[in-house]
Amino acid sequence: MSARPLRVMMSTPAIRDTTNPYIVQLVDAVGREVDVRLFSWRTAILGRYDVLHVHWPEIFTSASSGPKRWVRRALTTALQSRLALTKTALVRTAHNERPHESTSTVDGAILRRWNRLTTLWILLNERTRTESAAERVLIPHGHYRDHFARYGRQAATADLVSVVGHIRPYKGMEELVEAVADDSAEGAFRLHVAGKPADAALGRVLVENASGSERITLELDFVDDRRIVEIISSSALVALPYRQLHNSGVALLALSLDRPVLVPDNAVTRDLQQEVGASWVHLLDADTELTRAIRDALGHGIPEGSPDLSAREWPLTARQHAAAYARAAEIRGRR
């Protein structure tokens, strides 16, 4: 008799239109290798499964009000206690080296306990430093080609630059919009920023910074998959001048749609440039004026063909995740 497949609970609840496409693809691909369960508090605390796979642990305690936050903190503490008292393994994907937003003292303590409980880390790039000494496995971030293949692409406009995705303070969109609005140099280009700001105050800053500029289009709301493809494919460049960039799903999304990207120059982005080619990944030096760097990248045009993303195929990624889950279950079982 063959052994039953591993039961893996993802930290993601029901898949919705707003679910991160990376998670959508991961659940689908890994579900062909192991028995995947989507998250619910009841099952997570009381149910039977072998591995819990967590991506952004700070989400467990986020809530729209103080009372709800305390309820989620209590549930999270109960879940952590279940992990500590059983042989259930905790696998963490290290999307970032640390949370982008600051946390309270209570939530910081909860995050540190997640780190102590981690059985195995999945790294999306080899440069990632983790918050504990648990075993580490490198599994590169999968591409988005298959997920977005159902949507028709637009013809690129040579002077159009875009940014898509959730707008958060660390991404530096305020500075980007302000720089484009103030730019009076020759070779002017247009900018399309699309995504929902993290809060109303950030949205107001973007509107104020873009005021009076006919070169800037702001689409400050959630953008669905079809609209994402329309915006990126109609652009000649996707600009991501983030203050902090360690892993970027948007960069891989643009490359999956055969559009070059401009990203901050650091060790991770240099690795990406080496993987897919300098014509696809332009590096933004800290000493170079942002609008000048954008014009320089636009001057190279869109390369012929497609970037090589063969190391990021989802069947391979799924097998690597299944092996990581099995290894974590083995480690936890020994303990």
Task: Give the per-residue pLDDT at 334.
Answer: 66
- Give the contacts of 12 (CB within 8 A, at least 6 positions apart): 19, 23, 27, 38, 39, 55
Structure confidence by residue, pLDDT tens digits, 201-245: 999 999 999 998 999 999 999 999 999 999 999 999 999 999 888
* Whole-angstrom Cα Rg for the chain: 21
Task: Give the per-residue pLDDT at 1.
Answer: 43
Task: Give the per-residue pLDDT at 104.
Answer: 85
135-141 long-range contacts (CB < 8 A, ≥24 apart) are 135/327, 135/328, 135/331, 137/320, 137/323, 137/324, 137/327, 139/317, 139/320, 139/321, 139/324, 140/311, 140/312, 140/317, 141/22, 141/247, 141/249, 141/252, 141/312
Task: Give the per-residue pLDDT at 18.
Answer: 85
Task: Give the per-residue pLDDT at 188.
Answer: 82
Task: Name the segment(s) of the chain with CATH classification 3.40.50.2000.
Answer: 7-142+313-334, 146-311
Task: Give the per-residue pLDDT at 232.
Answer: 98
Contact 125, 151 (CB under 8 A): no
Counting as low any pLDDT under 70, the low residues of the chain are 1-2, 99-102, 186-187, 334-335
Dihedral over Cα of 94, 111, 99, 206: its sign: positive
Task: Give the per-residue pLDDT at 2.
Answer: 55
Contact 74, 104 (CB under 8 A): no
CATH fold, domain 7-142+313-334, is Rossmann fold (3.40.50)
Rounded-to-integer distance, Cα 160 and Cα 192, Å: 7
Rounded-to-integer distance, Cα 245 and Cα 198, Å: 17
pTM greater than 0.85 (yes/no): yes
Please give the structure tokens belonging to residue 177: 């919009």
Query: Which of 278, 157, 161, 295 is CA-nearest to residue 216?
Result: 161
Query: Which of 37, 35, 57 is CA-nearest to residue 46?
Result: 37
CATH fold, domain 146-311, is Rossmann fold (3.40.50)
Phi, psi of 66 (to 5 degrees): -60, -50
Task: Give the per-residue pLDDT at 121.
Answer: 98
